[in-house]
């Protein structure tokens, strides 16, 4: 008999603080309990740490380079990339889809809510949801081998999350990652359920950072991660600040792009920015935050770099064009995929350029399009590989319709100078 297990979890509400936690190890044969949810991340959580009084670092004047503005020539579906991710057994769909270039021709893909089971006659069956999974890509696009990793409970073989909170509270979604200082770092928003029975009945309660030097093996399930709370974030009923929606290594620093959400009748989301020397990522006191043209020690002072930001993004450096490019979904949930460019990693950012419009939400008002980002491993100066996800306000529609809830790719061609 056909069955589907798991249930949707949702809800945007007030977040409570999680307790402090020491660094812990996760990996190898460690098994963690499963947890389930169904809809996209609209916010991330955090812990708070008072920053010491530290002299700010001045930002050097930018070099006299010419920044080539973004101009879209075309945007069209990229079915070859879609097929690379589509399966009928095991891993059968997910959202998130951040990519991290590991080196040596390998790329790590990071997913949040993931369906695990089977697809029969166009719908998901004998399937459930775990909160995060990963996949390892070897080789370039034209000959890529993509292997999905699903962690399983050692007792009964039930699929479980790749990474789970050591304090047992809620679950992780996987956000951006980067290799810096010889270690792989991944930002982990910690999420928990609320009493709201609707599809948005979730809230953020923490932010963690996973780190490992053990990422060169072929089996991510065997990698051993150190997990520690990331203290530079906050959640109040009026304001939320968090980091890790995008990450970039440049000139000896890891840049962690974040969001400040101002919550009133509507949620206004702004881009903010942090950075740290690549050798000091795991040192909380080493982080600095871009504020009023300087790098300050207090994350609460971080300047708003632009508004209308998405909850997920990617930043690419295109040195031949003298620019950095950020790609995101407008306001986090929208049919519009936007991009901006800047001469430096911190800006100043251009006005938004529309890369594409996702047609799905116009076809069905229950459908949501979100999680747009570009992928460095598949992009060039004149062409962006952009993914997004299509979800539904009706959890069971995603179970019935297996065409939903995969990374969908667009080939966006940019005009050459």
Q: Tens digit of pLDDT for each residue in 219-265?
A: 999 999 999 999 999 988 788 999 999 999 999 999 999 999 998 87
Q: Give the pLDDT confidence score for residue 339 in this predicted structure.
A: 98
**In this structure, is residue 14 part of a structural domain?**
no
> What is the number of structural domains in the chain?
1
Whose CA is closest to 340, among 372, 300, 369? 372
Strands (E), 319-398: 323-329, 336-342, 353-357, 367-374, 383-392
Structural domain contains residue 72: yes
Alpha-carbon torsion angle 120, 126, 130, 136, nearest 10: -50
> Is residue 209 included in any domain, yes or no?
yes
Residue 13 has pLDDT above 80, yes or no: no
- C-alpha 199/C-alpha 42 separation (Å) is 12
Average pLDDT on 161-177 reads: 97
In this prediction, residue 304 carries a pLDDT of 98
What is the predicted pLDDT for the residue at 63?
Answer: 52
Q: Which of 8-22, 53-67, 139-153, 269-283 has the highest mean pLDDT?
A: 269-283
Q: Domain range spanning residue 146? A: 24-52+64-414
CA distances to 179, 228, 266, 310, 334 from 337, rounded to whole Å, are 26, 33, 20, 10, 8
pLDDT at res. 3: 38
Mean confidence (pLDDT) of the chain: 87
Confidence of residue 313 (pLDDT cuts 50, 70, 90): very high
Q: Which residue has the tokens 């609209």?
A: 42
Whether pLDDT at 31 is above 70: no
**What is the band of 143 on the pLDDT scale with cuts at 50, 70, 90?**
confident
Asked whether residue 1 is assigned to any structural domain, the reply reads no
Which contiguous run of DSSP H or E holds residue 361? helix 360-363
CA 12 to chain centre: 18
The three-state secondary structure class of 83 is: helix
Residue among 209, 211, 244, 214 nearest 228 (CA): 209
pLDDT above 70 for 345 = yes
Backbone dihedral region of 121: left (phi > 0), alpha (psi from -120 to 50 degrees) or beta?
left
How many angstroms separate the CA atoms of 18 and 46, rounded? 8
- pTM for this entry: 0.87
| Residue 107 falls inside a structural domain | yes
Residue 17 lies in a domain: no
* Burial per residue of 40-67, b for 16 or more beta-carbon CB atoms within 10 angstroms, e otherwise: bbbbbbbbebebeeeebeeeeeeeeeeb
The answer as to whether 99 is a domain residue is yes
Mean pLDDT, rounded, for 378-401: 96
Q: Mean pLDDT over residues 331-335, rounded?
A: 96
Average pLDDT of the segment spanning 85-102: 97
pLDDT at residue number 329:
98
Q: What is the DSSP letter of 98?
A: E
pLDDT at 22 over 90: no
In a domain, 96, yes or no: yes
Could you tell me the CA-to-CA distances from 130 to 25, 100, 176, 257 in Å, in that order?
Answer: 20, 21, 19, 26
Task: Tell me how far apart the alpha carbons of residues 5 and 380 are, in angstroms, rounded to a whole number.
Answer: 41
The span from the CA of 277 to the CA of 259, in Å, is: 21
Q: How confident is the model at residue 196 (pLDDT cuts 50, 70, 90)?
A: confident
Measured CA to CA, the distance from residue 195 to residue 119 in angstroms comes to: 32
- The CATH number that applies at residue 151 is 2.115.10.20
Instruction: Count CA within 13 A, CB hemisphere, residue 236.
Output: 7
Percent of the chain at pLDDT > 90 equals 75
């Amino acid at each position: 008999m056909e069955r589907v297990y798991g249930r949707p979890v949702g809800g945007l509400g007030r977040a409570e603080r999680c307790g402090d936690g020491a660094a812990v190890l996760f990996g190898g044969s460690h098994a963690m309990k499963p947890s389930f949810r169904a809809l996209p991340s609209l916010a991330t959580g955090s812990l708070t740490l008072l920053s010491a009084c530290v002299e700010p670092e001045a930002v050097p004047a930018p070099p006299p380079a010419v920044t080539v503005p973004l101009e879209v020539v075309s945007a069209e579906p990229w079915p070859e990339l879609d097929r690379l991710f589509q399966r009928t057994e095991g891993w059968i769909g997910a959202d998130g889809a951040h990519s991290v270039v590991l080196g040596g021709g390998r790329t790590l893909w990071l997913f949040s809510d993931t369906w695990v089971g089977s697809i029969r006659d166009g719908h998901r069956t004998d399937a459930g949801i775990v909160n995060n999974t990963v996949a390892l890509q070897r080789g370039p696009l034209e000959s890529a081998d993509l292997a999905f990793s699903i962690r399983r409970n050692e007792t009964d073989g039930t699929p479980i999350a790749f990474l789970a909170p050591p304090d047992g509270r809620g679950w992780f979604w996987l956000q951006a990652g980067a290799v810096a200082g010889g270690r792989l770092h991944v930002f982990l928003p910690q999420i928990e359920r609320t009493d709201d029975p609707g599809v948005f009945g979730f809230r953020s309660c923490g932010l963690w950072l996973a780190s490992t030097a053990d990422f060169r093996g072929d089996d991510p399930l065997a990698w051993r991660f150190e997990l520690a709370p990331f203290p530079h974030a906050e959640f109040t009923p009026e304001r939320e600040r968090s980091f890790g929606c995008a990450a970039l290594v440049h000139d000896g620093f890891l840049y962690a792009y974040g969001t400040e959400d101002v919550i009133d009748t509507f949620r206004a989301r702004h881009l903010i920015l942090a950075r740290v020397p690549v050798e000091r990522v795991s040192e909380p006191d080493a982080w600095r935050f871009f504020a009023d043209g300087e790098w300050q020690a207090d994350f609460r002072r971080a300047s708003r770099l632009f508004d209308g930001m998405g909850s997920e993004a990617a930043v690419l450096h295109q040195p031949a064009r003298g620019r950095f490019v950020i790609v995101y979904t407008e306001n986090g949930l929208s049919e519009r995929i936007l991009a901006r460019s800047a001469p430096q990693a911190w800006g100043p950012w251009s006005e938004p350029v529309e890369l594409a419009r996702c047609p799905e939400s116009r076809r069905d008002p229950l459908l949501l399009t979100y999680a747009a980002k570009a992928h460095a491993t598949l992009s060039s100066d004149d062409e962006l590989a952009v993914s997004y996800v299509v979800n539904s306000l009706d959890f069971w529609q995603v179970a019935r319709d297996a065409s939903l809830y995969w990374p969908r790719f667009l080939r966006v061609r940019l005009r050459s100078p």
